Amino acid sequence: MKTVYDFTVKDRTGNDVSLSEYSGKALLIVNTATGCGFTPHYEPLEEMYRDLKDKGFEILDFPCNQFANQAPGDAEEIHSFCTLKFGTDFPQFAKIDVNGESAEPLFAFLATEKPFSGFGKGLKNAALNKFADMNNKKFGDKAYIKWNFTKFLIDREGKVLARFEPTADMKEVRAAVEELLG
């Protein structure tokens, strides 16, 4: 059975990183953007990371510019923004595509394991769904991720446990991570 540990990705400087390096840890894998309405998610993510990393928890941050060009800049500019504005200390990887023919295989795998099931109820979520559908139409059946700050929770064996859309309450995300950590 395939797990996230079977994938190799690029770090923000272009070096290969086997995700098997994270074997035995609980992971939250996130596609991010620096100019998105959900960018403030960096704050609770960093807080969660600081509080839980000593319990075997890692957040893996993958910047992506496929959603309304909300992650402009190169890897160093993005990293500087995140560390200066939000004090992020968790690993940040190379800027990637999460949809289409050039999608990072890791994200195609994650989304296949836990497909999109909606942004939730409410006017704001319906508006995001309409905007995301228009944005992702060009990717057809390879529109794996609907928007920035989609989060995947991975257990210590590398299996995908849950998917949290950007509209999910960060308290819910943290509760799931804490439950996994025991």
Write down the residue that tokens 């795998």 correspond to. 109
Residue 95 in tokens:
């800027």
Contact 136, 111 (CB under 8 A): no
Catalytic pick from 36, 98, 160, 180?
Answer: 36
Residue 118 in tokens:
């909606």
| 120 φψ region: left (φ > 0), alpha (ψ -120 to 50), beta (else) | left
Residue 136 in tokens:
């992702």
Q: What secondary structure letter does DSSP report for 96?
A: B
Contact 165, 118 (CB under 8 A): yes
Residue 50 in tokens:
């600081």
Contact 119, 167 (CB under 8 A): yes
**36 annotated active-site:** yes
**Secondary structure of residue 162 in the 3-state scheme:** strand
Q: What secondary structure letter does DSSP report for 141?
A: G
Please give the positions annotated as active site: 36
